[in-house]
Amino acid sequence: MPADTEVVIVGGGLAGLAAARRLHRSGVPWLLVEATDRLGGRVATDNVDGYLLDRGFQVLNTGYPRLGTLLDVGILDLGYFTSGVLVRRNGTLHRLTHPLRDPIAAPLSASAGVGTLRDRLRLAALAATCAATGVRRLLDAPELTTEQALRRAGLSNRIIEELLRPFLSGVLADRALETSSHVTALIARSFVRGRIGVPAGGMAELPAAVAGPLPRTLLRLGTPVTAVNPGRVRTPDGDIRCRAVLVATDPGTATRLLPSLGPVRTRALTTYYHSVAHPPLDEPILLLDGDRREIVANTVVISRAAPTYAPPGRHLVSTSVAGHTPPPETVVRAELGRLYGCRTDDWEHLTTVNLPAALPAAPPGQGRLRQPVDLGDGVFVAGDHRDSPSIQGALASGWRTGGAIARHLTPRT
Ligand SMILES: Cc1cc2nc3c(=O)[nH]c(=O)nc-3n(C[C@H](O)[C@H](O)[C@H](O)COP(=O)(O)OP(=O)(O)OC[C@H]3O[C@@H](n4cnc5c(N)ncnc54)[C@H](O)[C@@H]3O)c2cc1C
């Protein structure tokens, strides 16, 4: 363990890696210490008997603004999802197409039963505005809860309950839609501007690509930091002295290492993985529950997007549930039978991934989604809890904080 370096980065998730990339580009000496034996934090993939099981269903949105700074998305070999969603309502499957990719079909395609025609036209107009409006202007809007903002935008109770609540509960892990409207507006902007997909090698390929240009010798794995003080970081191997320290851990650990941050509430997501011989859908499209049963947030045949997610002859179904009390697998499987409209008794349950602290809660009060990162005395903090609860939020936070540290160490005279 080197005795001294300019910057110690605690945590090798997307935020810590993005910060390392920024410092590396600026020529500032740094060392990253990661508690576990791998990089990527909450973005991880387990390869189990030929199935790629992401540690919780996650997708990459190509519309995230910070992605392009850090990697060429092309190298991830993304398998894309079909734009739009399917909604099961009153026993029928309804398709809502992406309002910007197919603006004529979008409002009419679901005329049989999700929301009203006025809702669908309104949604298409909102999506167009969201896509065309710059981030700064979107953040000038009054900050409300997501539910208040949807109602203020003139959307009816029906479209909120049949489409938006189920969809957003999977994205934000927040059925109550209490998340800041600023967070939701930026995530929605990326959804309408980009496409969603998963890398052929699993979501873990994303942090691997961000870490790609970094020297391996500066990435210390298996080193849990136990205490952080100005100019000093404590590890089981001894103290590391530095001029600046960046805590880029999950929010719970950040609060333990830096008690002045105060507690960060988190939201839970659970993913159920099933292996099937005969996929219930022949396309990779998110299926939502429009019947307000509030069990499943979304489900998808993920191996339809990326066939590498399942071994030959099998398919992988990924199902997300939001909330701190996930139902038993048998309940979810029965619900999947109703949603897909098929028998599920021969589905093989591979595993359930339960993450009580999947995302930081981001209630109104996020402002311009740039929480302070410079805590003084050369101590900095980064992570999705400082920007927005997403891959974009983690990358943007790390990049921004890396810049702040470089400026702190080399102030302009
Ligand atoms: C189930 C799930 C689904 C999601 N879906 C999406 C999605 O579809 N789209 C999207 O944009 N975002 C999604 N997200 C959110 C996204 O994955 C996170 O916002 C992002 O990965 C957070 O990155 P981070 O670097 O801030 O934190 P983390 O990924 O938590 O990284 C923190 C790192 O710090 C390390 N660490 C902790 N304690 C210590 C210590 N004491 N010493 C040293 N190292 C330590 C950890 O091991 C970890 O590697 C999802 C998250 C989950 C869990």
Pick from 58, 226, 318 the residue to mutate for probing ligand 1's pocket: most ligand atoms within 8 Å of its CB.
58
Q: How far is the CA of 238 from the centre of ligand 1 (A)?
A: 26
Identify the pLDDT of residue 103: 58
Q: Using alpha carbons only, how large is the chain's radius of gyration in Å? A: 22
Residues 301 and 370 in one domain: no
What does the pLDDT look like over 377-395, one tens digit per residue? 999 999 999 999 999 999 9
CA of 96 to the centre of ligand 1 (A): 31
Q: What is the residue type of 113?
A: G
Domain that holds residue 229: 4-43+204-265+365-409
Q: Same domain, yes or no, for 236 and 376?
A: yes
pLDDT at residue 105 in the model: 59
Instruction: Dump pLDDT digits (tens) for 106-124.
Output: 555 555 578 888 998 898 8
The first and second tokens of residue 5, run together, are 């370096």
Q: Considering 337, 360, 383, which residue would you say is the last residue of a domain?
A: 360
Assess whether 209 and 148 both reside in one domain.
no
- What is the rounded CA–CA span in Å between residue 275 and residue 49? 11
Q: Is the distance from the beta carbon of residue 33 to the nearest atom of ligand 1 less than 6 Å?
A: yes
Indicate which atom in ligand 1 lies nearest the CA of residue 55. 1
Q: Is 107 in the pocket of ligand 1 (CB under 6 A)?
A: no
Give the domain CATH number at 11: 3.50.50.60
Query: Are 256 and 310 members of one domain?
Result: no
pLDDT of res. 2: 46
What amino acid occupies position 141?
A
Q: Is there a single domain that holds both residue 335 and residue 278?
A: yes
Q: Is 207 in the pocket of ligand 1 (CB under 6 A)?
A: no
Pull the structure tokens for residue 122: 């309104």
Residues 134, 222, single domain; the answer is no
What distance in angstroms lies between residue 105's CA and the mean position of ligand 1's atoms?
37
Is the domain of 32 the same as that of 177?
A: no
pLDDT on residue 371: 92
pLDDT at residue 75, rounded to an integer: 97
**Cβ atoms 179, 149 nearer than 8 A:** no
Q: Give the span between the Cα atoms of 196 and 192, in whole angstroms.
A: 10
Number of separate domains in the chain: 2
- pLDDT for residue 205: 98
CA 325 to CA 331: how far, in whole Å?
Answer: 13
Neighbours of 281 (CB within 10 A): 19
Identify which of 150, 151, 146 has the alpha carbon closest to the alpha carbon of residue 175. Answer: 146
Quick one: how far is CA 275 from the chain centroid? 24
Residue-by-residue pLDDT tens, the chain, 413 positions: 444 899 999 999 999 999 999 999 999 999 999 999 999 999 999 999 999 999 999 999 999 999 999 999 999 999 999 999 999 999 999 998 876 666 555 555 555 578 888 998 898 888 888 889 999 999 999 999 999 999 999 999 999 999 999 999 999 999 999 999 999 999 999 999 999 999 999 999 999 999 999 999 999 999 999 999 999 999 999 999 999 999 999 999 999 999 999 999 999 999 999 999 999 999 999 999 999 999 999 999 999 999 999 999 999 999 999 999 999 999 999 999 999 999 999 999 999 999 999 999 999 999 998 999 999 999 999 999 999 999 999 999 999 999 999 999 987 65
**Is any atom of ligand 1 closer than 6 Å to the C-beta of 355?**
yes
- The Å distance, Cα 171 to ligand 1 centre, comes to 15
Q: What is the CATH number of the domain that holds 308?
A: 3.90.660.50
Question: Which of 17, 410, 71, 82 shows the shortest CA–CA distance to 244?
Answer: 410
Name the 3-class secondary structure at 246.
strand
370-392 burial by CB neighbour count: b if 16+ within 10 A, else e? Answer: ebebebeebbbbbbbbbbbbbbb
Integer Cα distance of 74 and 296 in angstroms: 32
